[in-house]
Amino acid sequence: MKETNAENNSTGCPASTAELSRRKFLARLSLAVGSVGAVIVTVPVVGFLLAPFFERRQEVWRSVGKVESFKIGETTAVQYEDASPLPWAGVTARSAAWLRRVNADTFIAFSINCTHLGCPVRWLAEANLFMCPCHGGVYYQDGTVAAGPPPLPLPRYPVRVKDGDVQIQTAPIPITK
């Protein structure tokens, strides 16, 4: 059989120059689309895998209210912005804690998240207990576990009073230490 420069198409006929250039174009297009797809998939995966090595634990003091707005002996829900909100976080950048005013200048702040699976716990003043609605976890008023599945007490945040403001030291989510 005689050798030619042109390739044969699927029917055995010599391929035209136009068909060859179309094949080349489609091959290059497939390569380019495949490369872009690989980059789109690879970059987030690599970022996710490397993030723990570059993560800085950023703890920030957040004001949660004026001292006089809290009554001695009461436990109140307070809200604050998470220590490392992402630009697209929206309302999820808001977090909360339970704040108790023990006396004139002593406060205790508890994480609002249950140590079992993270549901927000509720303070029941009449029972002096924190209750978790998800699986029935119960905590005493000092945050220690009274009953149910929680493996650990409610974490506490450092609290200080500065310039008349009550401030709690918050950390990026996950907020339990």
Q: Which residues of the shown chain bind ligand FES in the complex (CB under 6 A)?
A: 114, 116-117, 119, 132, 134-135, 137, 148-150
CB of 75 to ligand FES, least distance (A): 18
CB of 81 to ligand FES, least distance (A): 24
Measured from the CB atom, is 117 or 127 closer to ligand FES?
Answer: 117
Q: Which residues contact 61 (CB under 8 A, 6 or more apart)?
A: 160, 162, 167, 168, 169, 170
CB of 133 to ligand FES, least distance (A): 8
CB of 57 to ligand FES, least distance (A): 24
Measured from the CB atom, is 117 or 146 closer to ligand FES?
Answer: 117
Residue 123 and residue 130 in contact, taking contact as beta carbons nearer than 8 Å: yes
44 upstream amide cis, omega within 30 of 0: no
Residue 144 and residue 128 in contact, taking contact as beta carbons nearer than 8 Å: no
Measured from the CB atom, is 65 or 149 closer to ligand FES?
Answer: 149
